[in-house]
Structure 1
Amino acid sequence: MGFFSKLFGLDREQEQSEAVVEPFDYQGFQIYAEAKAVSSQFQVNGRICKEIDGELKTHDFIRSDLFMMPEDANEVMLRKARMFIDQMGEGVFD
């Protein structure tokens, strides 16, 4: 079954979730842009992380914007996450 699922692209979501995402550092925060496949498009999706007092804080960042290419969704993720950090600071994790 694994051969056929790969042949017909059924394993694509699993492969994307296994991909290693390099963080983008911004004002002490790490932004992980992880476009999510939705039907034949890609949704703006990712995480904002920061270590505060020895504890790793994480905020899941999901928006309804859809794009044809994952690179476009990731670019928007980075732009919106930076704006969110500028507005909220460490309040992102409240």
Structure 2
Amino acid sequence: MSFLKKLFGGGRSADSGPSKPKKQVEYNGYLISATPYKEGGQWQTCGTVSKTLDGIAKEHRFIRADRFADEEGAVDHSIMKGQQIVDQLGDRIFD
């Protein structure tokens, strides 16, 4: 069954998909986590923005088209994109 999933696109390759946070920063009351992943030999910008509102943990996952040759560049860019999301949208990202 696993073979058929991979053959028809149901399986995930070893170098794709989000990973555990590589770096986390607190920013204006939000926790931004950089979770870049390797895709096609490059590192894809990816992360989460989370915050507790009225006692409920909220999380917004983002993926951007920006890719980097090295993981460190993708981590730094993911943090910067998370900060930009917070600055532009604030709590509306959880709507």
Q: Which residue of 2 aligns with 1:67?
A: 68
Alpha-carbon distance in 2 for matches of 1:22, 1:41: 18
Identity %: 32
Gapped regions of structure 1 (runs ≥ 5): 1-11
Amino acid at match of 2:43: F
Q: Which amino acid aligns with 1:75?
A: D
CA–CA distance in structure 2, aligned partners of residues 20 and 49 of structure 1: 13
Give 1:20 shift.
5.4
The 2-side partners of 1:92 and 1:20 are apart by 20
Q: Which structure shows the higher helix fraction?
A: 1
CA distance in 2, matches of 1:79, 1:39: 23
Q: Determine the structure 2 residue equivalent to 1:4.
A: none
1:1-94 counterparts in 2 under 5 A? 13=15, 17=19, 19=20, 21-94=22-95
TM-score when normalising by structure 1: 0.76
Q: Which runs of 5+ in 2 are unaligned?
A: 1-13
TM-aligned CA distance change 1:58 to 1:36, over 3 Å: same
* TM superposition outliers: structure 1 runs of 4+ over 6 Å: none
The residue number in structure 2 matching 1:9 is none
Instruction: Report the TM-score, using the length of structure 2 for normalisation.
Output: 0.76
- What is the SS of the residue equivalent to 1:61? strand
Cα deviation, residue 69, structure 1: 0.6
* RMSD of aligned alpha carbons: 2.1
Q: Give the letter for the 1:66 counterpart.
A: R
